[in-house]
Chains A and B, each alone.
Chain A
Amino acid sequence: MALKGRLQDFGITQLLNLINLARKTGTLYVEGQKGEAQLCFREGKLIYAFMDGVEDSLPLLLQRAGKLTSEQAQTIMAHVRGKSDRDVALMLIQAKHIQQQDVSDSVRQHMLNLVYRVFGWNEGSFHFEPSELPVQGKLTTPVALENVIMEGSRRLKEWERLQDELPDLDIALKFADRPTTPLRDINLSVEEWRVISFINPSNTIRQVAQYNNMTEFQIRKIVYSLLQAGLVQIVRPPRPAATPPGSAGEKGQAAQADASAVRRPAVKRSLVHKLIDRIREL
């Protein structure tokens, strides 16, 4: 009987702990709000993973890891059509295009990135199919789950903190009027530069992420660091317009226009001066 349940009741961390401790072999199917993942394990170790039914080919993984250029990856893919990843890896290693370590590092990194994404899912369903493993020819790399669980939990906490610090991605950024750090002293990563190039009060953070093909986690992390460094500032959305005071239907119209807009009272200057005088006397 397969293990099955809801992520709300039994989270990813608990599932991986169980698989690790019970040294399980098989495939864990996870269906969350943001996709479907399949994670394969052998004797409690993660060996293979893919998302949304898409198993990226080895040249693509090597390209993402910076081991191949885009042109190289395209050429290789065109020449090795129909061959298994294992055969492609052997061919590339023998031709000295890459080293064996590059292959295992790239596959491992791809797998881990995918698993860490699944850590953020707290709603959805899962089931575990014992003894079901990847088909022959797939490249597998055993990864001990203890470290994955620790790193995943750390990232989850970081993610929660970032979400707390920057809950709304539909706000825009602008360059700080008076940056706390002199610009010439700043070293930015390529990713940070990509974000910086889109900083504009008319672009929301979400749009910047979309332009740059970044995940919410990546964009939050970069924007948070730019905010902390005092390089950029959040452009606050404009305050709701003041409701014209005194009109009879004012409240109803305002409520219809914007349920959250609260009336501002019509107060004369003289009243405010009266308040000031009285409070001074107290």
Chain B
Amino acid sequence: MQTLKIVVTGPFSSGKTEFIQSISEIDVVSTERKISRSAERIKSATTVAMDFGRITIDEDLILYLFGTPGQRRFDFMWEILSEGMLGFIVLVDSTRPETFREARRILDTFRSYSPVPYIVAANKQDMEDAWPAEDLKIVLQVEEGVKVVPCVAVKKDSVKQVLLELLYSILELMDEEE
């Protein structure tokens, strides 16, 4: 049995848990806890350990989706989660510009961990005040050739599209290396 791993990261409350929940065939193993810090009371619970979803590809292959803890004080887990990842997705709440700087930092951090392909998913594109994906590409200083994909994390089709775009990027990198 072979397992592969994709990491879903992003700032606090960017929609990582919903993203994994939308596509996982198992109930997401998520260790959500009530939030104690007043500054982070945007939602009533946050991921203190990690989200963990699964997609069975065939009887010999399983894809795992790992969501990173959203709060900065758990960032010691990021590198551990990154070990052996196939690629990563940086999920950004397109309606909250105050989190863009943090998203950029997370992107840079993960990028420094491993030379794997990644994409940025501009979440909550169904909201009226969402920043367009192309603007996020500029704001987050995303490298040329890296995709910024519009996304609605609660919709399965949208999540599928994000995962497919990441896999296409992985293929493109393989083509370049050949």
Question: Which single residue of chain A is at the shortest CB-CB distance from B143?
Answer: A236
Complex formed: what's the CA distance from A215 to B66 in Å?
Answer: 43
Complex formed: what's the CA distance from A59 to B85 in Å?
Answer: 63
B96 at interface, CB cutoff 8 A: no
Tell me which residues across on chain B come within 8 A of A273, comparing CB atoms.
171
Whether A271 lies near B61 (C-beta < 8 A) is: yes
A164 at interface, CB cutoff 8 A: yes
Known: A236-B143, A262-B79, A267-B4. A275 touches B63 (CB 8 A): yes
Contact of A279 among B79, B167, B174 (CB under 8 A): B167
A135 at interface, CB cutoff 8 A: no
A-B contact count (CB 8 A): 79
Ordered by A's residue number, 21 sampled pairs between the chains whose C-beta atoms are within 8 Å are A164-B101, A261-B113, A262-B79, A262-B82, A262-B83, A262-B113, A262-B114, A263-B84, A264-B84, A265-B86, A267-B170, A271-B2, A272-B167, A275-B63, A276-B164, A278-B55, A278-B58, A279-B23, A279-B163, A282-B55, A282-B160
* Residues in chain A within 8 A of chain B (CB atoms): 164-165, 234, 236-237, 239-242, 260-265, 267, 269, 271-276, 278-280, 282
Q: A240-B112, A262-B79 are in contact. List 20 more A-B contacts (CB 8 A).
A: A239-B115, A262-B85, A262-B114, A263-B84, A265-B4, A265-B5, A265-B84, A265-B85, A271-B4, A272-B170, A272-B174, A274-B58, A274-B61, A275-B61, A275-B167, A276-B164, A278-B58, A279-B23, A279-B163, A280-B160
* Residues in chain B within 8 A of chain A (CB atoms): 2, 4-5, 23, 55-58, 61, 63, 79, 82-86, 101, 111-116, 141, 143, 156, 160, 163-164, 167-168, 170-171, 174
